[in-house]
Amino acid sequence: MAEQGPIVFCTGGGCTAKLGAGVLSRILEKLPRSEKDPDLLVGYDSRDDAAVYRITEDIALVQTVDFFPPMVDDPYTFGQIAAANALSDVYAMGGEVKTALNLVCFPESMDLNVLGEILRGGAEKVAEAGACWWWHSIADTGVKYGLSVTAGRSAPPDGQRYRPPGRQTSSDQALGVGLICTANRVGEAAPEQMEAAVRSMTTLNKAAAEIARRYEVHAATDVTGFSFLGHLHEMMGEKLSSVIDAHAVPILPGAWEAADACLYTAAGQRNRNHTGPFVRFEKVPFPMEEILFDPQTSGGLLFAVAPQDAAALEAELQAAGLPAKIVGTIGEKQTPEITVTYE
């Protein structure tokens, strides 16, 4: 693709382009609420990754949408990342992907071969997920791509969404892609560091989700634009608290150096401003703090697991080639909500 030239980027690609969590909260709380539908199991009044709607006593639909501007130069790789990122929400909700609708914004003046490569990358990831796809496009001033995804899953019994505390948290992917992509844009990331970040972003969470079904997992979320700590805060749901051992959190090579060089994003600072009041750091080095607030694009899954299953789940995820680690515990609600240590 070198002969076609790079895609013209916006100032923040991938999940760094998302509106901040604080802004979204203020908007959503002002929207009118429709009449309560008993079959809407998960709606926008929750902090979940996708909507869940019961269509029979045993079956529910899982629906989500995600798209963004590019964060890498290669169109094919961008298509892979954007598709993997959109599919991830379904895996976090325990769904099995059935269909994916491509959402494309593309300049009419740009080489259509670039668009073809974006769609090829996306189509390969949708096929890897075992789903079928079609697409919708509009002319725009910049490139944006993603998917609207529909999946199926078993309909959980009413009241199953909240489980008692006494769990361990497990993360299945390394952090730091936002920092490394920023460093790459200014020529400060080594090629092998960017390659590791791309491998992480193009890895589907399908295998991790399938493995997790064999264990007592009480909750899951995919770690994306709101950062590890932001999504953990959402998982706590104002009912629980967590203690995280930051030393156990897997990070990508080069992420620490990028954070230490202050190559972080505006989105990362929005994450700190929104989630920081709920977090207490105990002797955590500043670069590690920034990694925990770093917006991830197509990040891994964060599981809340029954203590008796945590070690076995960690071992099976690692055997599948994933850098999974037990990173903390969940307990009764306390203040602060999240304590981060560095042992």
Active site residues: 15
Give me the amino acid identity at 243: V
How far is residue 196's CA from residue 321's CA, in Å, rounded to a whole number?
A: 14
Prior bond of 336 cis (ω within 30°): yes
How far is residue 63's CA from residue 202's CA, in Å, rounded to a whole number?
A: 21
Q: Are 166 and 243 in contact (CB under 8 A)?
A: no
User: By three-state DSSP, how is residue 319 classified?
Assistant: helix
User: By three-state DSSP, how is residue 166 classified?
Assistant: coil
Dig out the tokens for 302 from the structure: 């964060």
Backbone phi, then psi, for 119, in 5-degree steps? -70, -35
Output Rg (C-alpha) for the chain, integer angstroms. Answer: 19
Q: For Cα atoms 253, 259, 261, give the angle at the middle one, nearest 5 degrees.
A: 110
Task: Write the CB contacts of 218 (distance below 8 Å, at least 6 apart in sequence).
Answer: 163, 167, 304, 305, 306
Sheet holding 96-106, edge to edge: 40-42, 51-54, 59-68, 144-154, 96-106, 132-139
